[in-house]
């Protein structure tokens, strides 16, 4: 049914667009135009406003969701760590075996994985995140290799040619990749352009890739695409209504491990 009553209330219409996006996982300008009985140009302006506010990611013909924590700096995200994220990290840490070379991408969840490792683990750990390197250095059995470069204060991760050169010279057994957003069609994407080549180098260097993600990052998109989803072998996420259709990821050959949100 067309909703003519709100055609003159752009702010309310945009709120309703966000609700539709949350429900359906995507919106198309042509369908929204019919639904709200306004022109497609009007809808495109709505989507542009929402995109500018960081609430959606515009794509050809419409828009896709963005993660709820998009734009938050590293320390803010770390301070918001909850029981579910901790449980996901503990499950992920179980994939690490003695003697492995393990790459830890930047991110608050990846930091939690590092902190969740068994106290007696013996591995070589590689990371471009000084914060994660410090956390790993507390383990007596972990040899830490820090990939240096220019530090991005928002992500607390190094980037640049020095970072890439070190990562490209490593053949790791396992990678815990940081996930800003992951969409079955768009792939893995990031908010930060300088992260893209670093994440790509990590993916190229690892035999097995594990992504640990909260539900709001599934089906979401950020501006810069890193790689297709098939580069991930294992996805660990919460069992939640907002986690979307996990079958979409399983059809891509990804092992999906779900944890109940109430832990």
Same domain, 141 and 18: no
The CATH number covering residue 24 comes to: 1.10.10.10
The answer on pLDDT for 214 being more than 70 is yes
SS (HEC) of the chain: CCCHHHCCCHHHHHHHHHHHHHHHCCEEHHHHHHHHCCCHHHHHHHHHHHHHCCCEEEECCEEEECCCCCCCCHHHHHHCCCHHHHHHHHHHHCCCCCCCEEEECCCHHHHHHHHCCCCCCCEEEEECCHHHHHHHHCCCCEEEEECCCEEECCCCEEECHHHHHHHHCCCEEEEEECCCEEECCCEEEECCCCHHHHHHHHHHHEEEEEEEECHHHECCCCCEEEECHHHCCEEEEEECHHHCCCHHHHCCCCEEEEEECCC
**Average of pLDDT values for 21-42?**
86
Domain-located, residue 29: yes
Reported as a single tens digit per residue, the pLDDT across 88-147 is 999 999 999 999 999 999 998 999 999 999 999 999 999 999 999 999 999 999 999 999
Same domain, 151 and 28: no
pLDDT at 3: 47
What's the pTM? 0.78
pLDDT at 1: 42
The CATH number covering residue 197 comes to: 3.40.50.1360
The whole domain housing 171 covers 74-259
């Amino acid at each position: 049914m067309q909703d003519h009553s709100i055609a003159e209330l752009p702010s309310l219409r945009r709120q309703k667009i966000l609700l539709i996006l949350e429900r359906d996982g995507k919106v198309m300008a042509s369908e929204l135009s019919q639904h709200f009985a306004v022109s497609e140009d009007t809808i495109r302006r709505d989507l542009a406003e929402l995109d500018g506010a960081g609430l959606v990611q515009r794509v050809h013909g419409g828009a896709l969701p963005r993660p709820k924590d998009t734009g938050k700096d590293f320390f803010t995200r770390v301070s918001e760590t909850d029981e579910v994220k901790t449980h996901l990290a503990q499950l992920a840490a179980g994939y690490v075996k003695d003697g492995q070379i393990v790459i830890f991408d930047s991110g608050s969840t990846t930091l939690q994985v590092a902190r969740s490792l068994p106290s007696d683990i013996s591995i070589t750990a590689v990371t471009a995140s000084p914060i994660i390197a410090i956390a790993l250095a507390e383990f007596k059995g972990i040899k830490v290799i820090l990939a240096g470069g220019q530090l991005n204060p928002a992500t607390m991760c190094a980037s640049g040619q020095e970072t890439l050169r070190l990562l490209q010279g490593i053949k790791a057994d396992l990678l815990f990749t940081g996930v800003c957003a992951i969409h079955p069609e768009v792939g893995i994407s990031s908010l930060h352009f300088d992260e893209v080549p670093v994440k790509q180098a990590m993916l190229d260097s690892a035999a097995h890739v594990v992504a640990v993600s909260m539900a709001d990052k599934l089906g979401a998109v950020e501006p810069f695409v890193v790689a297709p989803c098939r580069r991930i072998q294992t996805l660990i996420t919460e069992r939640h209504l907002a986690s979307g259709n996990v079958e979409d990821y399983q059809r891509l050959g990804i092992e999906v491990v779900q944890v109940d949100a109430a832990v």
